[in-house]
DNA sequence: ATGAAAGCGCTAACAC
DNA sequence: GTGTTAGCGCTTTCAT
């Protein structure tokens, strides 16, 4: 059997209270007994049972991470860096894949509460606002990751999508492009990125033209199709901003089919800087989120809340940066 | 405060034992009280505390999954399907990224044991055989995933890499290729795949030639470089088998640099069938593991062990299949 | 500086 | 059918 504090106490000829105190180094214990107890713990290979201590209110040191789909490299990155920081801080992360399905979200949340995780990092859309509010009311530590709820008082760590749209567009503009198309999926983030695009155009005093904007499905095929439309119009765009890498890959594929040379005849830029960017040819220029910092911030913030600092709510917004590769060039 | 069985018991005018019994529907309880108690639970939104029940030996319904790096799409897939099956069976998965670092492996294992996870699915190399044996001795439920230890008595769920090598090679042979190169990383799986390659050659009575085999680093650049060597030799290979997709991408890139047309002048086949296969151009033919089944089997097996069936050890070997795309063609 | 004891929320053996 | 009760392994007042 695994030894318990009782075994240690008995072996050391002290009470369990004393053992517990050296374990948490709380209370006042003489150096001597402290050392002795530590030795005995080593000898017996004592490992405290986190469950028991959790039951006394110390927490499980686990947080639940809700994401739609790990297979999506963007989310895999989130997970990686969140887990990584958790590891450093002694917190484990329990994976909850939601498939963007509100029922699954609800089930996971409920299950995780029963399992007494200390908090939640939510990186899925989380349509169920009722549930979210309920959690917030129950003072469950929550951090929204990579998308905020504009209308709810909740902590969040996100990337500044609008700014990302700005730098992507400015990069293209600086290369001399004036007719810049967009291929986007219909999500909040995408719309923010498009907002940045408009902003940059305006700043450069370039006209904004609806016909350059294609908003559609989330799959590469959707993007491919959308790009096709963009190509067929007269006076077509010389550059296209895909609001995520997958969109951009769809555009690349369409260009190939239409025999349009990238980047000579068409510049393409993506968003997310997934590992695939350097695998395709030409390598894809993309806007990179500071995923590692995002993950770190999110974990730190949730721990902060777990430790009882339910002070002020905060929205942390990190800035993305540009990674120039071979898919963009001067006109 | 969250209600406990006590609250339920009091509200129903029964003892906690009765409540516990309807919770686990064990023992004999009259339909009437059963219904009544259930109602009260609903009303009070009672949620059992898993920790408390775990302390009584019922388990935490958590399993720890050790993988080297989630960012690698292959591992992300494993995670996805394992989590998925866990969800169906009421088990959560705790993520442990090891970076293939034995220290991290050991730390995770120790931490997870303190947190009382019910079992481990290990999908990282796990160099630390001492530790593994120790766990096995302690009767900790363990399933090795995607790589076995030939010399240790432990359950495992893996794909038949050798067979994968066979079908990849046979595909190439059936297309008329006779000089087939290999670009591989130096891992157990890769060597198995190469073994399959040799086997297929032999079966087709084709000569095996050392000079076609390049074994090197795990990065795409390594593969690119290795492919370069393969190209420079006289009477060069007409097809190359990359023992995983990344290797194959490296080969594709080298081909592009050397102006060798794929698949017209060179057929390329990968292994793992990662999502990237359909993003690159030409789309990559690859050997696909039945990841979903693998994940399911692994989860089912670990649950089986957790439930106390420490009967016989088993090695489950699933067969991969070929996914033909555009990177391979007749000579 | 150390210990006794109560109890976290639940389960299960045993009693009635 | 239902209740009593003794813990699971730990923490934490409150005594001493």
Per domain, the residue ranges of chain B are 5-48, 62-158+291-319, 161-289
User: Residue B17, CA: closest nucleotide via C1'?
Assistant: D3
From the CB of residue B178, how many other CB atoms can be counted at a distance below 10 Å? 14
Q: What's the gap in Å between the CA of B279 and the closest CA on chain A?
A: 7
Q: List the strands of the sheet with A239-242, edge to edge.
A: A213-216, A180-185, A239-242, A267-271, A285-288, A321-323
- Average pLDDT on B39-49 reads 95
Per-residue confidence (pLDDT) for residue B27, from 0 to 100: 84
Residue A310 has pLDDT above 80, yes or no: no
Question: For the domain with range A62-158+291-319, which CATH number is right: 3.30.1490.20, 3.40.50.1100, 3.30.479.30, 3.40.50.2300?
Answer: 3.40.50.2300
Identify the pLDDT of residue B303. Answer: 97
Span A140-158, average pLDDT = 92
Question: For A62-92, what is each residue's pLDDT tens digit?
Answer: 999 999 999 999 999 999 999 999 999 999 9
Q: What is the pLDDT of residues B197-218, one digit of tens each?
A: 999 999 999 999 999 999 999 9
Nucleotide nearest to A24 (CA to C1'): D11
Gap between the Cα atoms of B235 and A215, Å rounded: 50
SS3 of B63, please? strand
Instruction: Tell me the per-residue pLDDT of A8-52, one tens digit each, with 9 for 90 and over.
Output: 999 999 999 999 999 998 888 999 999 999 999 999 999 999 999
Contact B83 A70 (CB under 8 A): yes
Calculate the angstrom distance between C1' of C4 and CA of B62: 36
Q: What is the average per-residue pLDDT within A160-171?
A: 98
pLDDT surpassing 80 at residue B311: no
Share of chain B above pLDDT 90, in %: 91
Say if residue B151's pLDDT is above 90. no
For residues B64-71, give the mean pLDDT. Answer: 96
Q: Using a 7 Å cut-off to protein CB atoms, list the covered nucleotides of chain D.
A: 1-5, 7-14
User: Which residue in the set B47, B92, B275 is minimally distant from A71, CB to CB?
Assistant: B275
E-strand ranges in A126-277 read 142-145, 156-159, 180-185, 213-216, 239-242, 267-271
Residue in chain B closest to A284 (alpha carbons) equals: B280
Mean pLDDT, chain B, as a whole number? 95
Using the predicted structure, report yes or no on whether residue B249 has a pLDDT greater than 90: yes
Whether A116 sits with its Cβ under 7 A from any strand D atom: the answer reads: no
- Residue B148 confidence (pLDDT): 80
> With b meaning 16 or more CB within 10 Å and e meaning fewer, what string describes A299-318?
bbbbbbbbeeeeeeeeebeb
A208 touches strand D (CB under 7 A): no
Nucleotide nearest to A15 (CA to C1'): C3
- Mean pLDDT across the stretch A48-58? 95
- Residue B230 clears pLDDT 90, i.e. is over it: yes
Considering chain A, what percentage of its residues have pLDDT values greater than 90? Answer: 91
Give the minimum alpha-carbon distance from A106 to chain B in angstroms, rounded to a whole number: 13
Would you state the pLDDT for residue B309?
A: 82
Please compute the mean of the pLDDT values over residues A276-292 and round it to a whole number. 96
For position A131, what pLDDT does the model report?
92
CB contact under 8 A, A97 and B84: yes
Nucleotide nearest to B49 (CA to C1'): C9
Q: How far off is chain A from B161, nearest CA to CA, in Å?
A: 22
Q: Is the CB of A305 under 7 A from strand D?
A: no
CB spacing of A276 vs B281 below 8 angstroms? no
Which tokens go with A84?
């990584």
Which CATH fold would you assign to the domain B5-48?
Answer: 434 Repressor (Amino-terminal Domain) (1.10.260)
| pLDDT confidence of residue A117 | 98
- Fold match, B62-158+291-319 / B161-289: yes
Q: What is the pLDDT of residues B173-199, one digit of tens each?
A: 999 999 999 999 999 999 999 999 999
pLDDT tens digit sequence for B91-133: 999 999 999 999 999 999 999 999 999 999 999 888 888 999 9
Q: Which CATH architecture has domain B161-289?
A: 3-Layer(aba) Sandwich (3.40)
Q: Is residue B310's pLDDT more than 80?
A: no
From chain B, the residues in CB contact with A66 under 8 A are none
Q: What angle do CA A83, A86, A90 make, to 5 degrees?
A: 135
Candidates A71, A118, A244, A325, partner chain B, best to mutate (most B CBs within 10 A): A71
**A46: nearest CA in chain B?**
B114
Q: Which of B48, B114, B280 sits opposite A47 (nearest CB)?
A: B114
**Token output for B102:** 């034995």
Beta strand residue intervals within chain B, DSSP E: 62-67, 92-97, 119-122, 142-145, 156-159, 180-185, 213-216, 239-242, 267-271, 285-288, 315-318, 321-323
For CA atoms B164, B165, B170, B172, give the dihedral sign: positive
As a whole number of angstroms, the distance between CA B53 and CA B60 comes to 8
Kindly list the residues from chain A whose CB atom is less than 8 angstroms away from the CB atom of residue B61: 115
Task: Tell me what pLDDT residue B149 has.
Answer: 82
């Amino acid at each position: 059997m695994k030894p318990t504090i009782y075994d240690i106490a008995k072996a050391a000829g002290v009470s369990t209270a004393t053992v517990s105190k050296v374990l948490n180094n709380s209370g006042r214990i003489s150096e001597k007994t402290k050392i002795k107890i530590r030795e005995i713990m080593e000898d017996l290979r004592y490992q405290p049972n986190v469950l028991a201590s959790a039951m006394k209110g110390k927490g499980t040191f686990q947080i639940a991470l809700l994401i739609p789909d790990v297979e999506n490299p963007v989310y895999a990155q989130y997970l990686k860096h969140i887990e990584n920081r958790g590891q450093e801080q002694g917190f484990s992360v329990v994976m909850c894949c939601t498939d963007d399905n509100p029922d699954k979200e609800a089930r996971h949340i409920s299950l995780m509460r029963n399992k007494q995780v200390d908090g939640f990092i939510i990186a899925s859309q989380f349509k169920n606002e009722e549930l979210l509010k309920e959690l917030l009311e129950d003072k469950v530590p929550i951090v929204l990751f990579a998308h905020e709820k504009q209308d709810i008082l909740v902590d969040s760590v996100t990337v500044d999508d609008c700014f990302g749209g700005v730098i992507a567009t400015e990069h293209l503009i600086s290369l001399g492009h004036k007719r810049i198309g967009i291929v986007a999926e219909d999500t909040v983030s995408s719309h923010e990125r498009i907002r940045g695009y408009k902003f940059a155009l305006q700043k450069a005093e370039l006209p904004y033209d609806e016909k350059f904007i294609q908003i559609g499905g989330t799959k590469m095929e959707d993007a491919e199709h959308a790009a096709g439309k963009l190509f067929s119009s007269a006076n077509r765009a010389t550059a296209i901003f895909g609001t995520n890498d997958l969109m951009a890959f769809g555009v690349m594929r369409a260009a190939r089919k239409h025999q349009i040379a990238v980047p000579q005849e068409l510049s393409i830029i993506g968003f997310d800087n997934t590992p695939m960017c350097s695998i395709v040819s030409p390598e894809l220029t993309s806007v990179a989120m500071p995923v590692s910092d995002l993950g770190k911030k999110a974990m730190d913030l949730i721990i902060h809340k777990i430790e009882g600092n339910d002070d002020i709510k905060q929205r942390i917004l990190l800035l993305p940066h540009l990674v120039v590769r071979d898919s963009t060039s001067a006109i």
